[in-house]
Structure 1
Amino acid sequence: AANYSINTKLSTKISGYEVAEDNASQALNMVNTALGALSVMSDYSSRLRSLSMQVQNGTYGNKSIDAVNAEAVSIINELYRTKNNAEYNGISLFGGLEQPADITFPDGTTEKKYEFMVEVVHRDTSKMTSVSSLDENVVTTGGSYSVSSVEEIEKAFSMIKNGTLKSTELVLANDVDYSGFTGTHVCANWVNFDGNGYVISNFSSTTVPAFFNYGSTIKNLGLENVNIDVNVDCAGAFGGQKLTNCYATGSISGKNSVGGLIGNAKGVVIKDCYTDVDVKGWGIVGGLIGYLDGNETFSIENCYSEGNISSMTGAGGLIGGGGLNAGVKGSLNNCVSTSGVTSSAKNGTIGGLIGSFSVSGTLNMTNCYAVGEVSSGTNSGGLIGQFTIHNPEKCSISNIYYNMESTGQNDTGKGVGLSSSELNKMVAKGLLPDYGLDLPLPDIYDTSSRPLYSPAFVTFQVGISGEDSAGIYQDLSFTIEGLKDLCYLGLDDEKSLEKIDEMIASISSKELELGALQNRLESVLEQVGVAYDNLVSTQSTIRDADIAEESSAYIRNQILQQAATTLMATANQTPAIALQLL
């Protein structure tokens, strides 16, 4: 019985090793297929690099350069095609098509992942005094206090508004969800708030126009899925005055001076901020700022806006409108808008970046561009709808552009119009800010072969148990997204070799990974084969032992039976012999 049980278990394991051997063989075939595709891509890359070195020799005329670049575009599209179509048994080997990092759910919907423009290291709030422990009736001055819930935030804002919390800093200890909040939000002035790299989500209001109020200083905070729908002016997700490394997503709707970040901006200092907000209003509506007050100095740097902007009168992708009065300085640098801008009024003043702007003071505006569609409005512009400069000698304005193809505009005096190819080339060369936005593609680039990213993390079940150790896990995906920049730059550009080398390094790195995986799978096959042979041998030994034992017992019984028969026969013959003697 014991041997029978052991034999059954051995049979199960032997069957498992047979499947494991098949799995490892198929996995090895899959890896070999991937390595074959990478080898082809490596050959294309080498040809591309040779062309780049060749055309940068300085001995080629324009027609020759155009011919080389035409071949380069074909090679680039073939690289993408090879990568995107590489598959094994219906499985995309390298993650399929590439696209910005959106998470795709089974129902087909997508959720964009938002991140801070500047990486944030969380401060330790465990040793800070929490706002919940403060007495609302006792004045507290100075220090940093942690907030970790809706209740603590509302209590802190109420104390600031009532004057019992002064000159203090509030530090967010974790993400906070406002979806269950049914009260009226306390919107306080002069709040000093460190979001600490966390997010406040699902804030909704039909009465209060913003989360913070005038004079507030906010940094490292994300407001996600904001929904503000008010019938008042100056609506915006944040409000406040000084914002650093913040972002907002959702929708904002108000009357006049409505912005994705701030509705009415006065003396603002905004840096490293962005919005992906749909903004609606009657007049002066912007993706980042609604109305920019020209009575005080302002500074807006490294910011961008997405989302849809709509107004009955004036609107801009980044700033709805405003100005700069005499004797006042302002700067707008490295700012971008991809927002689509519309006006329901026939005489609306709308622009891809700014709706209307009047400058009497000193303006420094550099490295800005707009690519969103600008529709409707008689006073419309690809970059700025209406731009008035009273003292040009006091202003420094350079490198301001708009995409003529995507904005649908072609105006002069309010920014330089460029084609998609020209604008994207400047972004690729680093002459204009690149915030990872999905810019319109030029005709030279084949959008059908543009990579779309999806993970290709696979598990090879090469063991016989259900434990993690029985599997080999490998991420097959990689990206060559930066290669499209070559379509904008051309191989004659000095940066082309750098881009090609980056791609070659990416391919080589993946070849190293898969080469190591290939060795592992070959070792697994050998190990599984040895284990299989040993188990089969063990099972044979057990079975042979059982047969020998039964055979011995059978022979022994046969001998005993024959001996008994002989004795009985002899006993029966004894009387006859005795009678014969008589």
Structure 2
Amino acid sequence: MPKIASAMPLELLNQVGFNKKKRDKFMKNVASGMKIQDASDDASGYQISERMRVQLRSLEQATRNTQNGSSLLKVASGGIQTVVENLKTMKELALRSSNGIYTDSDRLAMEKEFKSCQDSIDTTAETTTFNSKLLLDGTYRNQDLRAVDAVVAPKIIKGSIGAANAGEYTISQDGIYEVDAGFTGTIKIDATNVQLKGSTSSNLANINIECEQEGMNLSLSNVFITNDSSHKNNILKFTGIGNSLTISGTCGFQYNALSNNASLNIGQELEITNHGSLTVKNLGLGFGAAIGTNSNQTAKRLTIVGGTLNAGSYSSGAAIGAGSGGGVDTINLLNVKIDEVATNGASAAIGCGVGTSKFSNITLSGCSGKVDTLVFKGDFGQNEAGTGFLGRTSVFDSSVLFNSKMMDTTILNPLKLQTGVRADGQMSTYMNQLDCDSLGVDVLSVTTDQKAKIAMKRLDSSLDYALHESTRIGAYIDRLDYTEANNTTEYENVTNSESTIRDADMAKEMVSYTKYQVLSQASQTMLAQANQQRSSILTLLQ
């Protein structure tokens, strides 16, 4: 039987298919510009390339996030600059009003502009927004408090107050006065910068100290006064706004009278700087606070900074805050070691007294120690009568011992900007509240020479506070600029790496395409030639 079959045409057919497949692959690479179309082209290269593509898309979004975050912070920075400009104007008006050449009518005109600046600051704090987010209302605060106004202690020794002065003694000049144990009665202070030093022999008794002027700077050194039930006035009483109390050594007040009065009456505003230990008790079963207000008296602000604090109330008033029916708008404790703050009634340890309609905004920052029956918003403690827990706000950033149980009260609420491609690539930003109350300028006025002097001192610390916020926001913006630049550089380098893995070398791909195009044509020609040779056998049968 004749053998006419041959393997050559089959081999040529396989070669034609191989060359065509290669030609089509390189043609596809040239057309798409990529040498890896799917995992079948290069399994490991495809996986690496896809992971890089995920990184690239993440970097693109992170860069957009950074740009949006920078825009938000620039809006906040603009709002802060508006506040700073208003504070500058207020400082200028206070300086002008303190000049003796102006009449009361002139100062009333200045007061109108002064109040307009205050309104502008509040409006700025209430309306500075980005994408419906309020930026300067304290939502993203970090518990920074405005610095306590600087106080220069008196250095001139004026004399001593002893038994021979019993009854009523008036201090009309700035200076240092020593109070002997034999003195009983009332010390009226009609000066602005006075230091009282206690006797080293024994504690003082049955003494009332009355500060007659606003803007009083009073320093106490080792003054501890205990009053019996016959002395029903405040042991220490301040008047109006802009007052400061500096504590050195061991100081305290113990009030034992049944009355409506607080042991330490803060007036409208008091800032206590404690370099030692302060103990204040109201044990009279009355209606005033220990540190704060009389019954039915309202005040704007109480700030206590540093030192060891022990405050207690056996009355219907708070240990720190308002007397019965009264109120203190803002209570700030900064870096205070709390030995004990307690009440044995229905009032709050820190906050409001019984029957009050005023609620306190309370901030504890860097504090530690023991607080008993502390009621801020109804979250801690059980007493609700008279505490006015509804509607109040409170901020903590320390671990405080509540009712003998340690509780972590760290509540920070930063605005977090996602600037990286990882879950932990967030930047926490803080923007403190910048309304008049937070700046401490809500109670200021320039209607008199004395009020203008108080305003000047307060505005210096308020400007420092606002400028500190401006600096913080500026630093955030700089950081975002660096982050954006870093993301852009990373994007460029990852793009180059991904391109090296996945993108086609067009010259090389065209050479390969041309090669297999020629081979494909040649193999087809050879296949046709082979088939022609096989068909020639038929000529033998003719």
TM range (shorter): 0.3 to 0.5
TM-score by length of 1: 0.39
- Structure index of larger Rg: 2
Greater relative contact order (CA < 8 Å, ≥ 6 in sequence)? 2
TM-score by length of 2: 0.42
Considering fraction of residues, name the structure with more strand.
1
